[in-house]
């Protein structure tokens, strides 16, 4: 009897083990959408790129650092160019900064700075300042400090992440931390070299009174994301910006790759299964955008289609109509409305965006390419007028 009882117990244990093994295999199979209650949810809901969604970037903590002048690049007639560095995402970032001479001779003048965000440049030909140098020079000649980060993996910056998608998504963070560093710490005016001090020691700092953004091509999407995350008024001018919805903005260029975009399409397919692409798309967060913004685009541009800007402008017009309607309804109710009524009127719109129409100007140029040739001089002149007005 004892032998039978022992055999029965062993049989029950074996059957239980078999059921448990089968259940675990079924529920954790890659082909099943079900999740086993015995498997850690953390392992199955790990979304590392979600930290770069626009909503999460808005809730992120940002850090500042001192801007350092590493070395002199050149001395022009009205300004001096330096390689600068700062710390962002815990790593070293370099770039080119142009400082007008008038600020060193008359430091009490108003100091306006423009962050320059370049588009795509192949690593093998890139040098610090490339993609922004010409426009930055004209702006510096007209009295603006210009700051153009290289981005990780370029210039003398630290290497970029091995995950190319992380490298793409983290660029707004790089710009935001540069903006905040400039606001808090200003910019140095000279490199001081002494026996007692490192070459990075600065002689004095210029306080930045106003900040603007200039961006070209892919830099346009970075700039717009930055504006949406900060929800601030930062005068911004965009040349031939990439404004088409994500992930089409990536797919459009994929046929230029060696594999004609095969790997990118595969990755995006996996990305869309795991993430909500709207969380990463500029066009899905226009309610967070503030002006003034100036867009300039040529109709002969085959790198960033002018159609994208035209469609983007239409979406801004719809957003402005929405805001106007909210404001009209809000005003028509008057001071006697209850807080509940006002809440229903504003709906999901925040007060800061519900009442502020996006100030947008759009210029189109015939027979003009991605780099604004042959209308480059006219385009940069409009940028100067724009910044003179708003900074």
Provide the percentage of residues in the chain whose pLDDT is more than 70: 76
**Are 134 and 25 in a shared domain?**
no
Domain presence at residue 356? no
Q: 316 or 4: whose pLDDT is higher?
A: 316
What pLDDT score was predicted for residue 313?
98
| Same domain for 192 and 115 | yes
Whether residue 128 lies inside any domain: the answer is yes
Half-sphere exposure of 246 (CA within 13 A, CB side): 24
The DSSP 8-state label assigned to residue 202 in this structure reads B
What is the average pLDDT value for the chain, to the nearest integer? 83
Q: How many Cβ atoms are within 10 Å of 23's Cβ, its own excluded?
A: 13
Note whether residue 157 is domain-resident.
yes
Strand partners, 51: none
Number of domains in the chain: 2
Q: Are residues 17 and 135 in the same domain?
A: no
Spatial separation of the C-alpha atoms in residues 254 and 263, rounded to whole Å: 9
Higher model confidence: residue 294 or residue 342? 294
Its domain, for residue 31, covers 2-46
- 345 pLDDT band, cuts 50/70/90, is low
Q: Is 114 domain-assigned?
A: yes
Residue 97 has pLDDT above 80, yes or no: yes
Could you tell me if residue 13 is inside a domain? Answer: yes
pLDDT for 9: 53
Verify that 124 and 198 share a domain, yes or no.
yes
Regarding whether 209 and 118 lie in a shared domain, the answer is yes
Q: What is the bridge-based pairing of β-strands 91-100 and 145-149?
A: antiparallel
Is there a domain that residue 54 lies in?
no
- pLDDT computed for residue 43 by the predictor: 35
Is residue 375 predicted with pLDDT exceeding 50?
yes
Which residues are bridge partners to 298 per DSSP? 365
pLDDT at 41: 32
Q: Do 101 and 31 fall into the same domain?
A: no
Instruction: Look at strands 112-117 and 145-149 and give their pairing.
Output: parallel
Q: Which comes out higher in pLDDT, residue 246 or 51?
A: 51
Contact 299, 306 (CB under 8 A): yes
Residue 349, pLDDT > 70, answer no
Higher pLDDT, 249 or 38: 249
Q: What mean pLDDT do residues 284-310 have?
A: 96
- With respect to residue 168, please indicate whether it lies within any of the assigned structural domains: yes
Side-chain half-sphere of 78: how many Cα atoms within 13 Å? Answer: 10
């Amino acid at each position: 009897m004892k032998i039978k009882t022992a055999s029965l117990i062993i049989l029950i244990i074996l059957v239980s083990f078999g059921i448990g093994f089968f259940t675990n295999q079924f529920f954790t199979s890659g082909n099943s959408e079900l999740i086993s209650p015995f498997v850690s949810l953390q392992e199955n809901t790990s979304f590392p790129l979600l930290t770069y969604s626009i909503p999460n970037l808005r809730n992120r903590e940002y850090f500042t650092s001192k801007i350092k002048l590493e070395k002199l690049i050149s001395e022009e007639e009205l300004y001096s160019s330096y390689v600068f560095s700062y710390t962002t995402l815990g790593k070293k970032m370099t770039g080119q900064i142009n400082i007008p001479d008038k600020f060193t001779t008359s430091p009490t003048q108003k100091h306006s700075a423009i962050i320059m965000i370049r588009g795509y440049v192949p690593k093998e030909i890139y040098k610090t300042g490339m993609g922004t140098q010409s426009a930055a020079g004209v702006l510096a000649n007209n009295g603006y400090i210009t700051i153009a980060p290289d981005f990780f993996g370029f210039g003398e910056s630290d290497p970029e992440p091995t995950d190319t998608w992380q490298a793409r998504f983290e660029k707004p963070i790089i710009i935001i931390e540069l903006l905040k560093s400039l606001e808090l710490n200003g910019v140095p005016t000279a490199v001081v070299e002494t026996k007692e001090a490192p070459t990075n020691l600065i002689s004095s700092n210029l306080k930045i009174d106003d900040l603007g953004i200039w961006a070209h091509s892919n830099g346009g999407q970075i700039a717009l994301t930055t504006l949406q995350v900060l929800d601030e008024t930062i005068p911004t001018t965009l040349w031939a910006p990439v404004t088409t919805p994500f992930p089409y903005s990536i797919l459009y260029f994929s046929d230029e790759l060696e594999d004609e975009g095969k790997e990118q399409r595969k990755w995006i397919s996996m990305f869309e299964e795991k993430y909500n692409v709207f969380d990463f798309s500029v066009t899905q967060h226009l309610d967070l955008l503030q002006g003034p913004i100036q867009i300039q685009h040529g109709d002969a541009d085959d790198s960033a289609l002018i159609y994208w800007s035209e469609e983007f402008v239409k979406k801004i017009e719809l957003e402005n109509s929405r805001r106007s309607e909210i404001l009209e309804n809000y005003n028509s109710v008057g001071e006697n409305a209850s807080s509940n009524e006002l809440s229903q009127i504003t709906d999901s719109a925040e007060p800061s965006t519900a009442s502020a129409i996006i100030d947008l100007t759009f210029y189109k140029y015939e027979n003009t390419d991605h780099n604004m040739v042959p209308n480059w001089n006219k385009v940069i002149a409009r940028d100067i007028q724009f910044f003179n007005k708003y900074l």
